[in-house]
């Protein structure tokens, strides 16, 4: 049966992780993988999470099945976080939200639903984008194209080219947009550019699919949801996949959600029924633990305040590492200006380092980055930043 099965290629980033783990050098640094580590180099277990878990354990709740669409209190907390508690869409019942297995699970449920709805639509992803966007929509059966996004020369968004591309798309084309903290570049659209995108999407009847995996990691919880809210205010039928993997440091618990903006409460019911059909035939219903923890935190004022504080600590630490890296590269005399790193947001930075630089960082210094030059700034800390800045300077200057 399996004699003709070919070996699938390794996931490049997870493959990098394996090489990193096998590297015996004690000074090695992993800037490849997309997880936030604290100043001790560890993935934090947030205090808010610990408190919620303690309470849940003590309550000794039975482990029945959840409804297909997940925990009601969780889904409504997600809606408030994304759209704002005062959003008229909430009052009008115009958002269908289902709990999902992380941001990836949300994208998958949305992709499968869209494929049934409009099988011949094309999907457009930014160039570059999180690798799984293309793979996931292709796996759902779509043809995936890419739209211009990053300009390496200006270290900024090539907005004119993006607009030109959007203006060529047929109605119904699904455009995947990073709502904040673009992965991998760290470069986001400005508020004015978002407004233009909303305008074009509406005019050309494109289908926006927003991916928000880093809410709170950019500027703040509310600020980072601005793009989602612009689409909501415009009343555009949109898809929003959100993830709590990073913002609650709950990577392995698989907590996220898919929300769909509809045109009426009646439409919400119909859309929801279809999303449930996709979920039922995919994994039946979501797991309990992560959703229950997030719902408890978001819905209890003391835990919520604690979480917001911890989230801003993570955000501030990343920003300070950006500042530190830029300053140290300057101090060591790196032969180029890295000020643009301070303008980027979120966990990642397109550093401008070439594949050769990245290769040298790994072989000569045990510093691991993605060959595109993407580094995870959230993996820098006060103990490894000197090593990293010195090594980058050396591979650039010699
Ligand atoms: N979208 C983007 C842009 C991401 O960077 C990630 C995580 N790396 C995801 C979605 C997936 O999130 P999750 O781990 O919750 O599935």
* Domain CATH for 274: 3.40.640.10
243 C-alpha to ligand 1 centroid (Å): 7
Say yes or no: 167 and 212 in one domain.
yes
Adjacent-strand bridge partners of 177: 210
Number of structural domains in the chain: 2
> Residue 382's pLDDT band (boundaries 50, 70, 90)?
very high
Paired tokens of 348: 């990642």
CA dist., res. 224 & res. 202, Å (int): 21
Check residues 10 and 328 and name the one with the higher pLDDT.
Answer: 328
Question: CA–CA separation, 187 vs 199, rounded Å?
Answer: 21
pLDDT over threshold 90, residue 9: no
Do the domain assignments include residue 23? yes
Whether the predicted model's global pTM rises above the 0.80 cut: yes
Q: Residue 40 belongs to a domain with what CATH number?
A: 3.90.1150.10
**Separation of CA 360 and ligand 1 centre (Å):** 28
pLDDT tens digits, residue range 50-70?
A: 999 999 999 999 999 999 999
- Is residue 12 pLDDT above 90, yes or no? no
CA distance 85 to 118: 32
Do strands 150-151 and 156-157 pair parallel, antiparallel, or not at all (unpaired)? antiparallel
Q: What is the C-alpha to C-alpha distance for residues 97 and 224, in angstroms, rounded to an integer?
A: 19
pLDDT of residue 55: 98
> Which residue, of 226, 253, 287, is where some domain finishes?
287
Q: What is the pLDDT of residue 14?
A: 80
Q: Which of 7-21, 25-39, 137-151 has the lowest mean pLDDT?
A: 7-21
Task: Indicate whether 250 and 346 sit together in one domain.
Answer: no
Give the pair of three-digit tokens for residue 336: 């180029």
Same domain, 92 and 218: yes
Tracing tokens 């292709």 back to the chain, one arrives at 138
Q: Both tokens of residue 52? A: 């919620």
The edge-to-edge listing of strands for the beta sheet with 255-261 is 95-101, 255-261, 239-243, 207-212, 174-178, 122-127, 143-148
Measure Cα distances from 163 to 106, 159, 169, 186, 326 in Å: 27, 6, 10, 20, 31
Q: What is the pLDDT of residues 234-248, one digit of tens each?
A: 999 999 999 999 999
What domain range includes position 121?
A: 65-287
Q: What spacing in Å lies between the alpha carbon of 72 and ligand 1's midpoint?
A: 23
Same domain, 135 and 192: yes
**pLDDT tens per residue across span 147-158:** 999 999 999 999
Which residue(s) pair with 97 in the sheet?
259
Task: Check residue 183 and give its pLDDT.
Answer: 97
Query: What is the token pair recorded at 23?
Result: 């590297």
Q: Which atom of ligand 1 is nearest to the CA of 130?
A: 3
Residues forming the active site:
130, 211, 246
| Interface predicted TM-score of the whole assembly (ipTM), two decimals | 0.99
Establish if 50 belongs to a structural domain. Answer: no
Pocket of ligand 1 (CB under 6 A): 34, 102-104, 130, 178, 183, 211, 213, 243, 245, 256
379 within some domain? yes
d(CA 67, CA 302): 28
* 319 and 282 co-located in one domain: no
Residue 80: inside a domain: yes
Last residue of a domain, one of 287, 321, 344: 287
pLDDT tens digits, 69-80: 999 999 999 999
Is 343 found in the same domain as 279? no
Is 53 inside any structural domain? no
The residue whose CA has the least distance to atom 9 of ligand 1 is 103
Probe target for ligand 1 pocket from 132, 182, 215, 376, with the most ligand atoms within 8 Å of CB: 132
Given the structure tokens 């300009």, which residue do they identify?
151
C-alpha to C-alpha distance for 124 and 145, rounded to whole angstroms: 5
CA distance 384 to 25: 13
Dist CA 105 CA 328 (whole Å):
39
In a domain, 299, yes or no: no
Query: Do 34 and 168 fall into the same domain?
Result: no
Using alpha carbons, select from 2, 27, 7 the residue that is nearest to residue 361: 27
In the reported structure, the alpha carbon of residue 103 is separated from the centroid of ligand 1 by a whole-number distance in angstroms of 5
253 and 376 together in one domain: no
Residue 347 tokens, joined = 């966990």
Q: Do 273 and 366 share a domain, yes or no?
A: no
Q: Are residues 264 and 348 in the same domain?
A: no
**Do 324 and 360 belong together in one domain?**
yes
Name the domain boundary from 269, 287, 305: 287
pLDDT tens-digit readout, 94-121? 999 999 999 999 999 999 999 999 999 9
Same domain, 98 and 247: yes
């Amino acid at each position: 049966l399996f004699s003709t099965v070919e070996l699938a290629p390794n996931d490049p980033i997870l493959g990098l992780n394996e090489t990193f783990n096998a590297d015996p050098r004690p000074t090695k640094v992993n800037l490849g993988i997309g997880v936030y580590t604290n100043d001790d180099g560890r993935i934090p277990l947030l205090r808010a999470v610990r408190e919620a878990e303690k309470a849940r354990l003590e309550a000794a709740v039975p482990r029945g099945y959840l409804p297909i669409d997940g925990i009601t209190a969780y889904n409504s907390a997600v809606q408030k976080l994304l759209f704002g508690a005062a959003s008229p869409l909430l009052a009008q019942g115009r958002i269908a939200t289902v709990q999902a297995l992380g941001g990836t699970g949300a994208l998958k449920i949305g992709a499968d639903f869209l494929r049934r709805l409009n099988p011949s639509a094309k999907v457009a992803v930014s160039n570059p984008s999180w690798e799984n966007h293309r793979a996931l929509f292709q796996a759902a059966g779509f043809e995936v194209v890419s739209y211009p996004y990053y300009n390496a020369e200006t270290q900024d968004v090539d907005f004119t080219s993006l607009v030109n591309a959007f203006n060529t798309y047929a109605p119904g084309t699904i455009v995947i947009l990073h709502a904040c903290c673009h992965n991998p570049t760290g470069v986001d659209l400005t508020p004015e550019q978002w407004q233009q995108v909303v305008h074009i999407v509406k005019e050309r009847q494109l289908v926006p699919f927003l991916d928000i995996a880093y809410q709170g990691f950019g500027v703040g919880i509310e600020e980072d949801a601005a793009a989602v809210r612009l689409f909501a205010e415009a009343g555009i039928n949109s898809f929003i996949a959100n993830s709590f993997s990073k913002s609650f440091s709950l990577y392995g618990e698989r907590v996220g959600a898919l929300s769909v903006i509809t045109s009426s409460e009646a439409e919400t019911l119909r859309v929801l029924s279809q999303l449930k059909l996709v979920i039922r035939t995919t994994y039946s219903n979501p797991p309990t633990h992560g959703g229950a923890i997030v719902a408890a935190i978001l819905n209890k004022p003391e835990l919520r305040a604690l979480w917001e504080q911890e989230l801003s600590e993570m955000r501030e630490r990343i920003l300070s590492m950006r500042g530190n890296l830029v300053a140290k590269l300057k101090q060591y005399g790196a032969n180029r200006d890295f000020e643009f790193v301070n303008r980027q947001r979120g966990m990642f930075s397109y550093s401008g380092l070439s594949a050769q630089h990245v290769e040298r960082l790994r072989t000569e210094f045990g510093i691991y980055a993605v060959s595109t030059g993407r580094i995870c700034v959230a993996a820098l800390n006060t103990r490894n930043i000197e090593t990293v800045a010195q090594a980058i300077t050396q591979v650039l200057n010699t």
